[in-house]
Chains A and B, each alone.
Chain A
Amino acid sequence: MSMIRSDSEALIKKTMARFVDEEVIPKAREIDESGEFPYDLFKKLADMGVLGLRYPKSVGGSGGDTVLYCVAMQELARGLMSLAATTAMQCLMATNGLYLYGTKAMHEEYLYPALKGEKIGAFQLTEPEAGSDLGNVRTSARKTADGYVINGMKTWSTNGPKGDFHTVLCQTNPDKGLKGLMFFFIPTDTPGFSHSKKFDCLGTRSSTLSEIYFNDCHIPKEYCLGEEGRGLDVLLTILAEIRIMTAALAIGLHRAAMDDSIKYCKERVQFGKPIGKNQLIQAKIANMAVNLEAGQLMVDKVTRLVRDKKSCLNEASMAKYFTVESACSASDEAMRIHGAYGYSMEYSVQRYYRDNRFLLYGGGTHEVLQTTIARQYLK
């Protein structure tokens, strides 16, 4: 008989949605209030193969791609942004350099355990004086006979205090600026490694962000991730994917804000009718829905371009900019629809409002993104 098969993308979306509804949403408020990262849920995601979604089975992955990875992250962000952000980091930025440039021994010691949720990875780009301006990175990598010595500090490091290993952007030659950049792999147990206490942030309260310090950290030469001076190229290979992943997280949060708003509009009765019967409330729901649909189309398009290895950094930047701004607007409108209750910690919309701010900065600030997008049209 003819071939009848399922659509794996739909199956993964459905499975993740069920996981989020059953396991994440019921605990989200408690996790957010505790400020503790939910390692039990992270391990469950690892056991389901979520952490390895975009890696081949040959390295312990699930054999998926960027499309499936972003579908999963989108659903996770609908439940709890802290969990989604850390998971997204583990799947991509924290492990991609290790996967591409790590030795077999490094894969066995770090990559396989990371995909099983047994070790946590972190990604270190930002410094106090180098955010969008990566040419100003000052964390130095000095070459020695058998490797490198790393000195400097990083900030806004997701998973920094909890990470077992770090992918760190360093400057190998300050005279070369961007062409002197290079990524290094630095395990947390390297002598000279330390970190600050966890930052106290507005949103993603159960994520761990901190400063990281490198004081004469000696690492072997095989811990170089890529060719010397090609750090920017290494970053550019995943920058579009980072931005579209961030957009997928925004879509998840936007959907959560909209779902809660629709439910509340139907339940809340004023002047003898549900508030959803009022045109001004309907306008808010309509705007949320239109922006969500448009953002979803952008994410669906760009994830496929990334999967097919097509050049799409500008499209990814536009998708990130649009979806995160839309999610900001949706979470704001969700609070307004909830009235004073939206201001209460009892309702989730205040968490969406706080958590979405996290997405404004990662993967490029919107002020920088608008500039780079405009440049494509003004050149």
Chain B
Amino acid sequence: MKIVVLIKQVPDTTEVKLDKKTGNLIREGVDSIVNPDDRQALELALQLKDDCQAMVTAVSMGPPQAVDVLSEALGMGCDAAVLLTDRAFAGADTWATSTTLGKAIEKIGDFDLILCGYQAIDGDTAQTGPQIAEYLGLPQACYVDNIENVEAGKITVTRRNDEGYERLSLTLPALLTVSKITVAPRYPMMGNLIDAGCEDAAIQIWNAVDIGALNSELGMEGSLTQVVKTFSPKTKRAGELLEGDVPEMVSELLGKVRQAHLI
């Protein structure tokens, strides 16, 4: 079985700081990490590798320093990695990103399953995974939290919804977006991280020419949407849920009201 996992490098903060003039993210002084949902996708892929000797390739699109998330993926146990980096990719919206990643996956060619995080914490669109599935003409399931089995060209997965769980069966090849799996993703192995920094590491670097893409399909030029303004939502009031039995909650509530000098 051959699995492609799509991962993104994102800023390590839930409180994104923005440049007031440009509206762009301020990345200086902010560490970058593997997008949390993507790390969960990696874990699901590596569990399949543990169970059925799958070959796992991690793919990321970003600036050269995004190689770090691929090195971490190799550290966790992925077999190979591809970094898509080119100035032509800059400024891509989810449509152009999906096109770029879709073309890279077409170049990889031989795959049974694509996994990616449900959404990235720096964009929260949850569009890229489904759009790649559409681009490649694959069946897809979003919000997957568990893979039950892979058998006879089909994969059975579960996902949570408002009423409970759904069990879905998809014909392979397919694409899954992943979120809230029950197992904590594994930590990278030291030896693998050391290998990932070596010249002969299993990391390929591809640009627009390598994936056979036209500039008109990529980056800002290939985007259908443009960001007019980026801002952090300002929370003026925050709710707080009290837990426990009624007397406990009443007592706690009174304490908070007194603390706020309301009574």
- Report if A and B associate in a common complex: yes
The reply to whether A11 and B193 form a contact with Cβ atoms under 8 Å apart is yes
- Chain A residues with Cβ under 8 A from B174's Cβ? none
The reply to whether B199 and A3 form a contact with Cβ atoms under 8 Å apart is yes
Given known contacts A1-B206, A11-B197, A6 and B71 CB-to-CB distance under 8 angstroms: yes
Taken together as a complex, chains A and B put the C-alpha atoms of A72 and B207 apart, in Å, by: 35
The reply to whether B196 and A8 form a contact with Cβ atoms under 8 Å apart is yes
Taken together as a complex, chains A and B put the C-alpha atoms of A372 and B236 apart, in Å, by: 62
- Chain A residues with Cβ under 8 A from B68's Cβ? 6, 10-11
The reply to whether B83 and A48 form a contact with Cβ atoms under 8 Å apart is no
Q: When each residue 82-112 of chain B gets 1 if its CB lies under 8 Å from chain A and 0 otherwise, what string results?
A: 0101000000000000000000000000000
B195 at the interface (CB under 8 A from A): yes
Q: Give the Cβ gap from A258 to chain B, nearest Cβ, in Å.
A: 17
Most central of A6, A18, A63 by chain B CB within 10 Å: A6
Q: How large is the interface on B (under 10, 10 to 19, 20 to 34, 35 or more residues)?
A: 20 to 34
B220 at the interface (CB under 8 A from A): no
For B74, the closest partner residue in chain A by CB is A6
The reply to whether A48 and B67 form a contact with Cβ atoms under 8 Å apart is no
The reply to whether A11 and B72 form a contact with Cβ atoms under 8 Å apart is yes
- Chain B residues with Cβ under 8 A from A6's Cβ? 67-68, 70-71, 193, 196-197
- Chain A residues with Cβ under 8 A from B255's Cβ? none
A14 at the interface (CB under 8 A from B): yes
Given known contacts A6-B68, A8-B196, A48 and B187 CB-to-CB distance under 8 angstroms: yes
- Chain B residues with Cβ under 8 A from A1's Cβ? 85, 205-207, 210
Q: Give the Cβ gap from A182 to chain B, nearest Cβ, in Å.
A: 33
The reply to whether B197 and A49 form a contact with Cβ atoms under 8 Å apart is no
Q: When each residue 46-73 of chain B gets 1 if its CB lies under 8 Å from chain A and 0 otherwise, what string results?
A: 0000000000000000001001101110
For A61, the closest partner residue in chain B by CB is B191
Instruction: Name the one of A4, A14, A62 contacting B85, with C-beta atoms under 8 angstroms.
Output: A4
The reply to whether B194 and A5 form a contact with Cβ atoms under 8 Å apart is no
Taken together as a complex, chains A and B put the C-alpha atoms of A44 and B64 apart, in Å, by: 31
Q: Give the Cβ gap from B81 to chain A, nearest Cβ, in Å.
A: 10
Q: When each residue 63-83 of chain A gets 1 if its CB lies under 8 Å from chain B and 0 otherwise, what string results?
A: 110001000100000000000
Q: When each residue 22-62 of chain A gets 1 if its CB lies under 8 Å from chain B and 0 otherwise, what string results?
A: 00000000000000000000001000111011000100011
For A53, the closest partner residue in chain B by CB is B190
Contacting residues of chain B (160-204) with chain A, CB-CB under 8 angstroms: 187-199, 201, 203
Instruction: Name the one of B85, B196, B199 contacting A11, with C-beta atoms under 8 angstroms.
Output: B196
Rank and list the top 5 A-B pairs by shortest CB-CB distance, nearest first. Answer: A8-B197, A49-B190, A62-B191, A6-B71, A62-B190
The 20 sampled A-B contact pairs (Cβ below 8 Å) are A1-B206, A2-B205, A4-B205, A5-B201, A6-B70, A6-B193, A6-B196, A8-B196, A8-B197, A11-B68, A11-B193, A11-B197, A12-B190, A14-B31, A15-B75, A15-B193, A50-B190, A52-B191, A62-B191, A62-B194
- Additional A-B contacts beyond A6-B71, A62-B194 (10; CB < 8 A): A1-B210, A5-B198, A6-B70, A8-B194, A48-B190, A52-B191, A62-B189, A64-B190, A68-B190, A68-B194
Question: Footprint of B on A, CB under 8 Å?
Answer: 1-8, 10-12, 14-15, 18-19, 44, 48-50, 52-53, 57, 61-64, 68, 72
